[in-house]
Structures are given as C-alpha cells and as structure tokens.
C-alpha cells in the first residue's frame, strides 16, 4: 500500500513530501483546506517506487489545518498537516 510522510509538520514555507510503495507512473498530489475545498494540485511521476518532492506555500493559503492526498491507480493516502504563519 501507498505510504506518505511529510516534514516538518507543522510547516510554514516549504514542505517535504515522501511517497513510498508507489508504482511506476503518474500520481496526483492534492491539498484540501479544512472545509474540504481543493486548493492545490500537482501531477507527479514515480520512477523507482518512491518519490521525494517539495511543496512551497502559496500566498493565499492561510494558517490552519489542511489535508494532503496522493492518489495513484485508485489508491489514496491522506495526511493532515498544520500550516503556521
């Protein structure tokens, strides 16, 4: 199964995202605010089964609770993250 970890959490500017146990091919990272509204999306390509990528804070994101999801081949992993000022 997919496994996702992030660092640091809470975060303020730059978030490291690690995906493990993915399969070669494309997947989608999505960020949702605390109301469930999608506020960001990016397609990623896994080459070796694992992926390390970074997310930079967008100017319109307010401090609070967010949910980061990675979806690949109908499998989804979601982590709750805290964005600080």
Considering only CA atoms, which of 5, 39, 40, 41 is closest in space to residue 22?
A: 5
10 Å Cβ neighbour count for 62?
A: 10
pTM, entire model? 0.93
pLDDT per residue over 52-68, tens digit each? 999 999 999 999 999 99
pLDDT per residue over 13-41, tens digit each? 999 999 998 888 999 999 999 999 999 99
Strand partners, 34: none
Radius of gyration of the chain (CA): 12
Q: Whole-angstrom Cα distance, residue 11 to residue 84?
A: 6
């Amino acid at each position: 199964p997919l496994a996702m970890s992030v660092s640091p959490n809470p975060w303020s500017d730059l978030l490291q995202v690690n995906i493990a146990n993915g399969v070669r091919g494309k997947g989608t990272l999505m960020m949702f605010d605390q109301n469930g509204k999608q506020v960001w999306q990016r397609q990623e390509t896994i080459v070796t089964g694992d992926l390390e990528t970074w997310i930079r804070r967008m100017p319109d994101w307010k401090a609070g609770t967010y949910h980061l999801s990675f979806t690949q081949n109908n499998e989804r992993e979601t982590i709750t993250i805290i964005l600080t000022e």
